[in-house]
Chain A
Amino acid sequence: MAEFRMPALGADMEAGTIVEWLVKPGDKVKRGDIIAVVDTEKATIEVEVFEAGLIQSIVVPAGEKVPIGTVLASIATDDEAAPALAPRPPSPAKPPEIVRPAFQPIVPAPPIIERPPSTMPPVTRGRLRVSPLAMRVALDLGVDLSKVKGTGPDGAITKSDVERAAKSVPPPPPPAAPSVKADKAGGPSQPVMTADERHVAMRKVIAAAMVRSKHEIPHYYLGTPIDMSHSMGWLQAENLRRPVAQRLLYSVLLLKAAAVAIRDVPEMNGFWIDGAFKPGEAVHVGVAIALRQGGLIAPALHDVDKKSLDEIMANLRDLVNRVRAGTLRSSEIADATITVTSLGERGVESVFGVIYPPQVAIVGFGKIAERPWAVDGLVGARPVVAASLAADHRVSDGHRGALFLAAIDRLLQEPEKL
C-alpha cells in the first residue's frame, strides 16, 4: 500500500487545497498520471502520482485544505494483491517530498519568452453570482463564467445559462497536457481563490522566498558579455529553412547552453539542504515566466541538457501555454534544479537574479544588442548578450562560477552542436 500525500509544491508552501480529484477508488494509475488538482497560493497545479497501482481510497475530499505531507489517497501498488476489503495495517509512510524547490520568484520580472495570450483564459472567479451546480457544470464544460449572462434569481447564473453558453460558444481547445477525464464522483470543483486573492497570496509567497534567499544565501555575482553573432547567424539560417511553426527562439539556445554548461560545473545545479549541497540528479531548468496579472512562476523544463533544441522549443511552448491556462503539473513546480531568467526583451542590458532557495544558482540574460566588439584588432558591430550568474557562495566560489559562464560562452559559439 502506498500513500499519496499532499506534495510540497514549493519551498514555502505549507498547505494546499484539493480542487478536484481526477481519479476515483478502483481506478488504475501509473507513474506520472495526473490524479488531482491542487491549489496553492500561487497556482492551480496538476499533481502526478509516483506509484503504479489501483486507487484504494480517497482520504481527503475535494475542497479541503490540508498541510503538506497529509495522506490524500491510498494506492494498492501493482506488486500487492489488494483485496479491497481486507483492512491493512498502515504501511510505513513514504516520506513526503519536501524542500523540493518550486516557484522561482526572482524579481517581478517579465518572462524569458513573451507569448500571445493563450487561447484558454482562466475562468474568472470574481464575485459572480453563480449557483453551485452552475459552477460545477461550467468547470465540466470549460465555460468561462465571466461571459455568461445569468437569468436565475437576482441575475444569478444557473445551470441552464451555462449550458446555453456552452452551446453557443465553441469549446476551447483542450489543454496541451494529456488530460485525464474528470470524474464527477471525485468531487466538485470549486473556485478556491479569486484573482485578487491569488495575487495577494502570490506576492506573499514571493516575498517569503526572496527574504529567505537574501537572508540565508550568500550570493556572489559574475557577469560577462557574450558574442552572439555565431548563434544568431546560425539561428537565422536554420529558421529560414523551417516552416514558421517550427522556428526556434534564441531563448532555446540560451537555455540549452546553460544546461549543458552544468556538465563542466555541476555545483551550479542542485539544492542546499540541511547545511550541505545536494547535487541535482538531472538538469531541470526553471524558466521564469511572468503572469499577466502580475507575479511569476518558474516551472521546470525537464532534462534540458539531454533534449534537442526542437524538443526544448516544443516543451517551452507547451509550458508557457499551460502557465497561462493555470494547468501546471506538480513535477514542473517542484523539480527545477537551477533557474534561468531573462529580462532582455524588456530592454535592459543585464539582470542579476536572486537565487530561489534551496537552489544554488540563477543565470540571467539581458537583451541581445549590437555592440562594438574587437576581433583580431578590428572593431566591428556584433550582437552581444550580457550573461550573468548569481550563485551560492556556500556551494561554489567565483572561480567556478567564472568557468560556468565561460562554458556557456563557449557553447554559444558553436550553436550547431547544441
Chain B
Amino acid sequence: MNTAAKTIRITYREAIKQAIREAMQRDPRVFVMGEDVGRYGGCYAVTMGLLEEFGPERIRDTPLSESAFVGAGIGAAMGGMRPIVEIMTVNFSLLALDQIVNNAATILHMSGGQINIPLVIRMTTGAGRQLAAQHSHSLEGWYSHIPGIRVLTPATLEDARGMLWTALQCPDPVLIFEHGTLYNMEGDLAADAGAIEIDKAAIRRSGKDASLITYGGTLHKALKAAEELSAAGIDAEVIDLRTLRPLDTAAILDSVTRTHRAVIIDEGWRSGSISAEISARIMEGAFYELDAPVARVCSAEVPMPYAKHLEDAALPSVPAIISAVRGMVGENG
C-alpha cells in the first residue's frame, strides 16, 4: 500500500477541505457560506481553519435559514460568483427545497438559456452515527429526480478531493452529498491528487458473478460484502455510481451484461428510490442478460431510529448484501 513518496495519509474530511482551499486559491470568485462554517469551523469540521486563512468575506457564517442562504447563493451565482453553500444535513435542505428545485434547477430553463446558476451545495447525508430521524436520512435519491441539477456522491478520498473543482466548473447547480460516516475515513491519497471527472461510474472491484451497484456510504459495505463473498467463491463486482444524476446507465448495463445479476445497495428507502430507478433501467436495457431478478438492499421504511441496535437493523448491512447475492447466485456458486 505504501508507495511512500507519492502519497499522503489523509481523511475524507481533510480531502474536502483541501479541495475547498484549492478552489479558493485558484478562483477569487469562490466563497463558502453556511451555518457555523466560519468561527465554529463547520458542523463536521470540514471548514476548520479556513476563516483564519481566507477571512470573513470568503468564509461566511449565515443565519439559521436554509431558504435564505441558499437563495443568496443562487443570487451570487447569477451575479458571477462561484459560491459553495454548505447545508448542515440533508434533512435541513428541505427548508431550502423551494430555492433548490423551483429556482436553482429551473432558472436556466425559465430564462430561455440566458442565466446559468453555477452553484455548488454541499451537505451531509446518511445515518450510522445515532443522530436519529433529525439528521440521518438519505434524500439524495429525491434530488436525483430533478432535471437541472447534478447530484454527486463522493465515496472515496479521490472523489472527496477531486469532485469539487469539477463541480465548480459546471455552469449549473451541483449538489454534493457527503455521507456522515465517511468524514473520519482515513487512507492514502496521491500527493498530487486533484480535479476528477464527475460523469462516470467507477468499478471499485471487478467480478464476474454479480454486480453490486451502490454509491456513497454503502460503497464500503458493498466492498466488504464482496470480500466475504469471494471467500465463499462468489466473485462480485462493485460499481460506485459516484453521480446519481445524470446516472451512468451505460456503466450499469455494461456490468450487468457481464455478470448477469444485480444487487442495488441504497441507504435510501426502497419505495420510489434511486434503487428503483436503477432497477428499471436494468430491465429496460439488459433484461435478456439477467439470470436472476434484480435485488435491492435498502433502509427499512421507518424514520431513522436513535437506538444503536435499531439503527443498525434499519440500515443496509454487510450480511444483508451477502444474503441477497447468495439468494440469486443459487446453488451454482
Interaction A to B = yes
Q: Interface on A for B, CB 8 Å cutoff? A: 131-136, 151-153, 156, 158-161, 188, 190
How far apart sit A332 and B330, CA to CA, in the bound complex (Å)? Answer: 45
Q: Give the residues in chain B near A190, CB-CB below 8 Å.
A: 288
Top 6 closest A-B pairs, CB basis? A188-B288, A151-B331, A152-B330, A133-B291, A131-B291, A160-B332
What are 14 A-B contacts defined by CB distance under 8 Å? A131-B291, A132-B287, A132-B288, A132-B290, A132-B291, A151-B330, A151-B332, A152-B291, A152-B292, A152-B328, A153-B328, A159-B291, A188-B288, A190-B288
**Contact yes or no, B332 A158, CB < 8 A:** yes
A322 to B191, CA, bound (A): 70
Main secondary structure of the interface of B (DSSP, over half): helix
Inter-chain residue pair count (beta carbon < 8 A): 43
Cα separation A132 to B292 with both chains bound (whole Å): 8
Q: Which residue of A lies closest to B330 (CB)?
A: A152
The answer to the question of B327 belonging to the interface, with a C-beta cut-off of 8 Å to chain A, is: yes
A136 touches B332 (CB 8 A): no
| Cα-based distance from A188 to B291 in the complex (angstroms) | 14
Chain B count of residues within 8 A CB distance of the other chain: 13
Contact partner, A132, options B289, B327, B332, Cβ 8 Å = B289
**Is B332 touching A131 in the complex (CB atoms < 8 A)?**
no
Q: Which residue of chain A has the shortest Cβ distance to B288 in the bound complex?
A: A188
Kindly name the residue among B288, B292, B332 whose own CB sees the greatest number of chain A CB atoms within 10 A: B288
**CB-nearest residue of chain A relative to B328?**
A153
User: Which residue of chain A has its CB nearest to the CB of B326?
Assistant: A153
Contact residues in B for A152 (Cβ distance below 8 Å): 291-292, 328, 330, 332
User: Which B residue sits closest to A164, measured CB to CB?
Assistant: B332
Minimal Cβ-Cβ distance residue in B for A137: B291
Q: Closest residue of chain A to B287, judged by CB?
A: A132
Q: Roughly how many angstroms separate A151 CA and B291 CA in the complex, as a whole number?
A: 11
A133 & B332 in contact (Cβ 8 Å cutoff): no
With the chains together, A65 CA to B222 CA distance in Å? 41
- A216 and B297 CA atoms in complex are apart in Å by 63
Residues of chain B lying within 8 A (CB to CB) of residue A131: 260, 290-292
Say yes or no: B290 contacts A133, CB within 8 Å.
yes
How distant is the Cα of A236 from the Cα of B140 in the complex, in angstroms? 84
- Kindly provide the distance from the CB of A141 to the nearest chain B CB, expressed in whole angstroms: 15
Bitwise interface map of B from 135 to 154 toward A, beta carbon under 8 Å scored 1, else 0: 00000000000000000000
Contact residues of B between 289 and 330, Cβ < 8 Å to A: 289-293, 327-328, 330
> Bound state CA distance, A216 and B291, in angstroms?
52
Q: Which residues of A contact B293 (CB under 8 A)?
A: 153
Cβ B289 vs Cβ A161 within 8 A: no
Give the distance in Å from the alpha carbon of A134 to the alpha carbon of B332 in the complex: 13
- Decide if B289 touches A133 in the complex (CB within 8 Å): yes
Query: Per a CB cutoff under 8 Å, which of A133, A153, A156 touches B260?
Result: A133
B260 surroundings in chain A (CB, below 8 A): 131, 133, 159
Residues of A within 8 A of B290 (CB): 131-133
Closest CB of chain A to B279's CB: distance in Å? 14
- Residues from chain A with a CB closer than 8 A to the CB of B331 are 151
B327 touches A153 (CB 8 A): yes
User: A153 contacts which of B287, B288, B289, B292 (Cβ < 8 Å)?
Assistant: B292
CB–CB A136/B330 < 8 A? no
Nearest-neighbour CB distance to chain B for A271, whole angstroms, equals 41
Report the nearest B residue to A159, measured CB to CB: B291
The residue of chain B having its C-beta at the shortest distance from the C-beta of A150 within the complex is: B330
B288 touches A134 (CB 8 A): no
Mark contacts of B231-262 with chain A using CB atoms, 8 A cut-off: 1 yes-contact digit, 0 otherwise: 00000000000000000000000000000100
Q: Cβ of B287: which chain A residues have Cβ within 8 Å of it?
A: 132
Distance in angstroms between the alpha carbons of A160 and B291 in the assembled complex: 9
Nearest to A156 among chain B residues (CB) is B292
For the complex formed, measure the closest distance between the CB of B211 and the CB atoms of chain A, giving whole angstroms.
13
Taking CB atoms, residues of chain B closer than 8 Å to A134 are 291
Evaluate contact between B330 and A133: CB separation under 8 angstroms.
no
Extra contacts besides A131-B260, A133-B260, A158-B291 (12): CB < 8 Å? A131-B292, A132-B287, A132-B291, A133-B288, A133-B291, A134-B291, A135-B288, A151-B331, A153-B328, A153-B330, A156-B292, A159-B260
- Given A151-B332, A152-B332, A153-B327, A136:B291 Cβ within 8 A: no
What residues of chain A lie closer than 8 Å to B328, measured between beta carbons? 152-153
Task: Looking at the assembled complex, report how far the CB atom of A185 sits from the nearest CB atom of chain B, in whole angstroms.
Answer: 12
CB-contact partner of B292 in A136, A158, A188, under 8 A: A158
Residue of B nearest to A190 (CB): B288
Chain B, residue nearest A152 (CB): B330
Residue among A133, A134, A136, A190 with the highest chain B CB neighbour number at 10 A: A133
